[in-house]
């Protein structure tokens, strides 16, 4: 069973569904959909645990009741939470506004962070490390893990040398035009010579994988999107699952698109039964 370490945020999301598209300056109607556990690390780790991997999350939560709720949800899914620190104060909390077409806008209300980079990541047993964090101080730690684990990281940030990795994942919507037009060059600048693949997601347009000498695309199934929140993270979970299981990038990308599309169609992390069906 591959050991997978997921680095990133875990949060409580307060979800509001709009009855009209989001428009600046407008007066809109909406309804509360309640609260749920989210954040990039949780959205990626839970599907991986459902798929049978040994998953550990490296993150931080507060000492409030929300922090306990987050830890309980992760543990119930089979995720190891021993590397989630508890810091005095509130946990990460976000407002998620979902439009009628399923597109979402996330407003970060509070962030719970560690003081400095997670140095325990240097020695944690791992076959795969996935990083879903915008922190700029992870480069030395990731560089030190390249020989002992497959490192998969999300960009941005995409500056020179900030994401030493074997595989990078980016949403086309997150990249500026000059980087989106040259994905391989963008990835190589961020990861260095160890980069094997730069993967770019395009929402309903599927995803592409770029290497030094290859490029291929996997289209997405045509579905009605209920809520796109976390779909990119579930996509990353599918990609990591495939690569951790020894699949080629071509096969792993097909799996990733299927997982991400299912998340958008269902409106959140697919339940364990659906992940097992996708396997």
- Look at residue 27 and tell me if it is in a domain: no
- Look at residue 138 and tell me if it is in a domain: yes
- Look at residue 243 and tell me if it is in a domain: yes
Expressed in angstroms, the distance from the first to the final Cα of the chain is 15
Q: Which residue has the tokens 């645990």?
A: 49
* pLDDT 10s digits, 89-119: 999 999 999 899 888 899 999 999 999 999 9
DSSP string, 6-37: EEE--EEEEEEEESS---TT----EEEEEEEE
Q: Between residues 159 and 86, which one has the greater pLDDT?
A: 86
Buried/exposed 101-138: b ≥16 CB within 10 Å, e otherwise:
ebbbeeeeeeebeeeebbeebeebebbbbbbbbebeeb
* pLDDT 10s digits, 24-76: 888 989 999 899 999 999 999 999 999 999 999 999 999 999 999 999 999 99
Q: Is the pLDDT of residue 227 over 90?
A: no
CA distance 217 to 201: 10
Structural domain range at position 206: 3-10+39-90+112-278
- Look at residue 172 and tell me if it is in a domain: yes
pLDDT for res 158: 86
* pLDDT 10s digits, 259-271: 999 999 998 899 9
The two tokens of residue 209 are 């994988």
- Look at residue 97 and tell me if it is in a domain: no
Output the domain CATH number for residue 222: 3.40.1190.20
Q: Is the pLDDT of residue 1 over 90?
A: no
pTM to 2 decimals? 0.95
pLDDT for res 46: 98
Q: How confident is the model at residue 135 (pLDDT cuts 50, 70, 90)?
A: confident
- Look at residue 100 and tell me if it is in a domain: no
- Look at residue 196 and tell me if it is in a domain: yes
Measuring CA to CA, which residue among 226, 204, 224 is closest to residue 33? 226
Number of structural domains the chain divides into: 1
| Angle, CA 45 vertex, CA 39 and CA 51 arms, to 5° | 145
Q: Is the pLDDT of residue 136 over 90?
A: no
Residue 173, exposed/middle/buried by CB under 10 A (0-12, 13-18, 19+)? exposed
- Look at residue 33 and tell me if it is in a domain: no
């Amino acid at each position: 069973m591959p050991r997978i370490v997921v680095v990133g945020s875990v949060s409580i999301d307060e979800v509001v569904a709009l009855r009209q598209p989001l428009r600046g300056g407008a007066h809109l109607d909406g309804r509360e959909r309640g609260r749920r556990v989210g954040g990039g690390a949780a959205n990626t780790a839970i599907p991986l645990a459902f798929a049978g991997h040994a998953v550990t999350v490296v993150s931080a939560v507060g000492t409030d009741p929300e922090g306990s709720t987050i830890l309980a949800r992760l543990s119930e899914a089979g995720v190891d939470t021993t590397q989630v620190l508890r810091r005095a104060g509130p946990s990460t909390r976000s407002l998620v506004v979902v439009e009628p077409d399923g597109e979402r806008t996330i407003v970060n209300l509070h962030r719970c962070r560690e003081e400095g980079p997670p140095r325990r990541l240097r020695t944690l047993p791992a076959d795969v490390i996935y990083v879903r964090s915008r922190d700029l101080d992870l480069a030395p730690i990731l560089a030190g893990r390249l020989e002992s684990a497959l490192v998969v990281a999300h960009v941005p940030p995409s500056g020179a040398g900030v994401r030493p990795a074997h595989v990078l994942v980016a949403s086309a919507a997150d990249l500026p035009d000059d980087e989106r037009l040259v994905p391989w060059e963008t990835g190589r600048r961020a990861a260095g010579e160890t980069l094997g693949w730069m993967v770019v997601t395009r929402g309903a347009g599927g995803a592409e994988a770029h290497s030094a000498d290859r490029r291929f695309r996997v289209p997405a199934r045509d579905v009605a999107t209920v809520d796109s929140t976390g779909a990119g993270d579930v996509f990353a979970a599918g990609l990591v699952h495939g690569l951790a299981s020894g699949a080629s990038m071509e096969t792993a990308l097909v799996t990733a698109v299927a997982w991400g599309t299912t998340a958008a169609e269902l409106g959140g992390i697919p339940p364990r039964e659906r992940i097992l069906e996708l396997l």
